[in-house]
A and B are shown apart, each in its own frame.
Chain A
Amino acid sequence: TQLLEQSPQFLSIQEGENLTVYCNSSSVFSSLQWYRQEPGEGPVLLVTVVTGGEVKKLKRLTFQFGDARKDSSLHITAAQTGDTGLYLCAGPGAGSYQLTFGKGTKLSVIP
């Protein structure tokens, strides 16, 4: 079974601070996806990383896929209250039509 471990589980920071959250596995993934979920809503895809060492930027969010394709990180610069939410990473699971999700990092940005 391919597992994705996310850390930290919870993170509370002040507006304007920088932060990094992590998604790690002992397995190699062909790609990883990052989602953000706001309370009471479904997750929304932020980015997909597919190449080892790849870096993708989405405004103040920087996503990196590890060289060995076993881990990924999400760095947020100058966090805003609108960044508050649950950040989930996901990768292809054992079956052809399945995604395996990590348990997520719950981020709270305090004004």
Chain B
Amino acid sequence: SQTIHQWPATLVQPVGSPLSLECTVEGTSNPNLYWYRQAAGRGLQLLFYSVGIGQISSEVPQNLSASRPQDRQFILSSKKLLLSDSGFYLCAWSGGQGSSPLHFGNGTRLTVT
């Protein structure tokens, strides 16, 4: 069966520090991978998605970036965190196009101080 792992679960970082969040998927090949951010337990904002190794689409211009170095690995990064980067970050995968269900990891709670 397919599983998705996301870490760390919580993170407290000072303003201006770098960020690296990692997500890996097991049990499937060539998944579509996504990074979402959720503010205050509300709706999800799509940040990045990837349909293949090295292919990244950005939905929201900001100081975050994403990379997909391997088929089932997706990384969210920042060189210098802002206070506004605080939030709940969710990685997800799907097996098809826009109507395919998403399978989410358990998220990373990021607090920028």
Total number of B residues with any Cβ neighbor in A under 8 Å? 25
Total number of A residues with any Cβ neighbor in B under 8 Å? 28
Interface residues of B in 60-99 (CB under 8 A from A): 90, 92, 94, 97-99
- Distance of A31 Cα from B6 Cα, bound (Å): 28
| CB of A61 closer than 8 Å to a CB of B | no
Please tell me if the beta carbons of B43 and A104 are within 8 angstroms of each other in the complex: yes
Q: Which residue on chain A has the smallest CB distance to residue B9?
A: A40
Q: Which residue on chain A has the smallest CB distance to residue B43?
A: A103
Which residues of A have CB within 8 Å of B6?
42
**Interface centre among A35, A41, A99, by most B CB within 10 Å?**
A99
Q: A33-B101, A93-B98, A97-B32 are in contact. Are A102 and B107 (CB under 8 A)?
A: no
Stretch of A13-21, A43-51, A66-74, A75-83 with 4 or more beta carbons under 8 angstroms from chain B: A43-51
Complex interface bits, A81-106 against B, C-beta within 8 A gives 1, otherwise 0: 00000101010110111110111101
Which residues of B have CB within 8 Å of A43?
44, 90, 102, 104
Q: Which residue on chain B has the smallest CB distance to residue A102?
A: B43
- Distance of A96 Cα from B96 Cα, bound (Å): 9
- Distance of A90 Cα from B104 Cα, bound (Å): 14
Which residues of B have CB within 8 Å of A33?
101
Partner of A42, one of B57, B101, B107: B107
- Distance of A45 Cα from B95 Cα, bound (Å): 14
| CB of A39 closer than 8 Å to a CB of B | yes
**Interface centre among B57, B99, B107, by most A CB within 10 Å?**
B99
Which residues of B have CB within 8 Å of A97?
32, 49, 51, 57, 94, 97-98
B21 to chain A minimum Cβ distance, whole angstroms, is 13
16 contacts between A and B (CB under 8 A): A30-B99, A31-B99, A40-B107, A42-B92, A42-B106, A43-B90, A43-B104, A45-B101, A48-B101, A92-B97, A92-B99, A96-B98, A99-B98, A102-B43, A103-B43, A104-B41
The 9 A-B pairs at the shortest CB distance, nearest first, are namely A42-B104, A92-B98, A103-B43, A101-B44, A45-B101, A92-B99, A31-B99, A101-B43, A103-B42
